[in-house]
Amino acid sequence: MAPVDELRQQADQLRKEKRYAEALPLYRELWEKHRDACNEWDGWKYAQCLAKEKKYTQALDVNREVYRMSPDFQMNNNAYGWAIYHTEISVDKVRDENRYLRAAEAILKLCKQDDPYSPYVRTVLAVAKYFQNPFNAHAMVQWLTKVDGKKLRDEVFSFTDPNGNLREQASDKERYYAGLSKALLELEDYQACIDVSEEALTEIGKMHYYNDIWFQWRIALSKYHLGDTSEAISMMKAEGRT
């Protein structure tokens, strides 16, 4: 067996065993000293090990090189997207909004919503959350409409808080509809707000944060502004808001 093949085999075996830290120096040697013998899969595996060890900046560099080699290699494109996400989107504080949004746009160009291994949806929801404080309705609508709400996951996330209490967070689908309906109401796009809110009441299995009431209230308020006063008042009375 050729030395390069043996090096690759050893690295691959360690990676399969999830011994990423041990596989890293072997992939690094393969990638840096034997580049002519490497293909896009070698680069993707190297970047995967880097990402598993939370070396996201280094993974980003490798994913970028692999992208240049094979721009249609979707597994790398997803990994590339996640590397961008971890280095530019999943940050404690956004210091440069233009750079942040360019990074988000790059992820959406690399990835697809329907791919379960893609950071597409996570990126859109992260950007929408960024524009919630201060609330920017135009930006919220611009970003949230980049996804198909009906295709979003409806599973809630459960966790135990520091006090030992079981808590739940809203699903991706609920967060999407809540943000979009609120933004449409603020923009006075009343019919769209009604349509989105009614769809939310049908699509979301379990509501949180009184969103079921908020959706009904936005429908009623939108109907009021569109001139359907009697229906609006009837809905508000039903929700106890008059």
DSSP structure string for 168-224:
EE--HHHHHHHHHHHHHHHTT-HHHHHHHHHHHHHH-SS--TTHHHHHHHHHHHHHH
Question: What is the rounded CA–CA span in Å between residue 89 and residue 83?
Answer: 10
pLDDT more than 70, % of the chain:
98
Cα angle vertex 55, ends 51, 60, to 5°? 70
Q: Can you give the pLDDT at residue 240?
A: 61
Kindly indicate the confidence band of residue 126, based on its pLDDT and cuts at 50, 70 and 90.
Answer: very high
Average pLDDT, the chain: 94
Average pLDDT over residues 41-49: 98
Average pLDDT over residues 116-129: 97
Question: What is the rounded CA–CA span in Å between residue 220 and residue 212?
Answer: 13
* pLDDT above 80 (res 208): yes
Question: What is the rounded CA–CA span in Å between residue 223 and residue 219?
Answer: 6
Question: Helical H runs in the chain?
Answer: 3-16, 20-33, 40-52, 56-69, 74-84, 97-110, 120-130, 137-144, 172-186, 190-203, 211-225, 229-238
Domain 1-130 falls under CATH 3.90.75.20: no
Q: Can you give the pLDDT at residue 229?
A: 83
Kindly indicate the confidence band of residue 204, based on its pLDDT and cuts at 50, 70 and 90.
Answer: very high
* pLDDT above 70 (res 236): yes
What's 1's DSSP letter? -
Question: What is the rounded CA–CA span in Å between residue 13 and residue 19?
Answer: 9
Question: What is the rounded CA–CA span in Å between residue 185 and residue 180?
Answer: 9
pLDDT more than 90, % of the chain:
87
For residues 157 and 136, the model is more confident at 136
Q: Can you give the pLDDT at residue 17?
A: 98
Question: What is the rounded CA–CA span in Å between residue 228 and residue 34?
Answer: 72
* The residue count for the chain: 242
Q: Are the folds of 1-130 and 140-242 the same? A: yes
Domain 140-242 falls under CATH 1.25.40: yes
State the pTM of this model. 0.92
Question: What is the rounded CA–CA span in Å between residue 130 and residue 174?
Answer: 17
**Domain chopping of the chain, boundaries:** 1-130, 140-242
- Within 8 A by CB and 6+ apart from 49, the residues are 15, 20, 21, 23, 24, 27
For residues 119 and 233, the model is more confident at 119
**Through-space distance between the first and last CA atoms of the chain, rounded to whole angstroms:** 81
* pLDDT above 70 (res 242): no
